[in-house]
Structure formats: structure tokens, C-alpha cells
Chain A
Amino acid sequence: DTAVSQTPKYLVTQMGNDKSIKCEQNLGHDTMYWYKQDSKKFLKIMFSYNNKELIINETVPNRFSPKSPDKAHLNLHINSLELGDSAVYFCASSQDRREQYFGPGTRLTVT
């Protein structure tokens, strides 16, 4: 019973493509997040989504867009992929921004 799951675990694609990463949480949490972790291990928050309120980190390019079909899902869509998008992307969830539960990560490689 994985609390926060992400698919796929690995994603290799070419520059210019559009891709999506799915995230699901079965904890009943009200807030979900997407993070990007680069090769230097810096964890940067990209988005948080709570009760239809999307909070965006202004440094995130608008090629990235989160979409939430329901409270348990927050998918990440990326358009026109670039080499610099290569990283590990983590989804997380929490209740009222308390302790966050992270997914296992998706390693994206753009060639």
C-alpha cells in the first residue's frame, strides 16, 4: 500500500517532446506538491496545490503545468522538453502543510 506513488520511475525522451508524470496519494491529504531535485541534490519546490488553489514557484518555466483531476492526483505535464529539465522529480502530499510524504521519484533524462 504505497502512500504516494509516481509513474513512470524512469523517463528518457528527446528534446522538444511533451511528457507527463503521474502522481497519486492514498492518504486523504489536502495538499500535493511537485519538487525538482538536480544533480547537486538541491530540492526545489515547483508547485503546491490545495483545494483548487495552485501556488507556483515563479522561477518555474511555464512549460511545466500541474493538473489535478481530483484530490488524490496531481500530474505534471512538461512541454517542449529541454536538456536542463533532466532531473529527479518528486511528488509529495501533506495535510495542511504538515509533514510531507514523498513519492519514490521519477528520473527524467532528456537527450
Chain B
Amino acid sequence: LAKTTQPISMDSYEGQEVNITCSHNNIATNDYITWYQQFPSQGPRFIIQGYKTKVKNEVASLFIPADRKSSTLSLPRVSLSDTAVYYCLVGPHSKSARQLTFGSGTQLTVLP
């Protein structure tokens, strides 16, 4: 199983760019990297997914180096409403017997 490691918490100010890194040293060849956001008393919500290099959507970017042993979620110009816990998830798309592994989550606090 790909074990993931994330910082426990991060603070930022409104309007800044925030980068959250997840380490997954033993990621497998067919594993994808997915990031989720969770607000209190809600289920996690999908943010972005990638396999290698860079992926971008309307809310975030995901940077994955060539060795794929880590990934960085980038949130541009955060606002107070981005305060949440962010999880990275590593696992395959295919119907595999292997389990999906969530990171321990990073509590992002955006300050005014």
C-alpha cells in the first residue's frame, strides 16, 4: 500500500497562494493521486486528480514530479472559505484488490 504523509496543519492569509505537499514514496505504477477537501460535519469533496506532471482545474493545480514520490496541491488566492482539511489519496483506477490510502489530512486555516 502507498503510505502517504502530509503536514498536520498550515496557516495562510487571504489572497495568498497555498501549497500543500503529500509524500507517497512507495506509490505504484498504476496509482493516481487525488485530493479532497473536507469542511466540518460534511463528507470529503473531490478537488483534483492527476497521474504525472501538472493538472489544473478551476479551483486548484496539482504538481507531480517525475518520480511521483510526492505531489503538491496549489490553491491560488485563498479566501476564508477555503479553511478546511485537505486529504491526499493514492490508489489505482482499475478494479484492484489493493486498497486506497488516505493521508492523515492537513488542516488549512486561512486568516483575514
Contacts and interface: CB of A to CB of B under 8 A. Distances in A.
Contacts, number: 58
A97 interface: yes
A98 B45 contact: no
B49 A98 contact: yes
| Chain A, interface residues (CB within 8 Å), range | 20 to 34
B102 A44 contact: yes
Nearest to A90: B43
A50 B95 CA distance: 8
B43 A96 contact: no
A102 B45 contact: yes
Contacts of A99: 34, 46, 49
Contacts of B85: 41
Contacts of B87: 43
B95 A53 contact: yes
Interface string A27-52: 00000010000000111110010110
Given A48-B99, A101-B46, A102-B45, 4 more contacts: A45-B102, A55-B97, A92-B44, A102-B44
B23 to A, nearest CB: 17
Contacts of A98: 49, 93
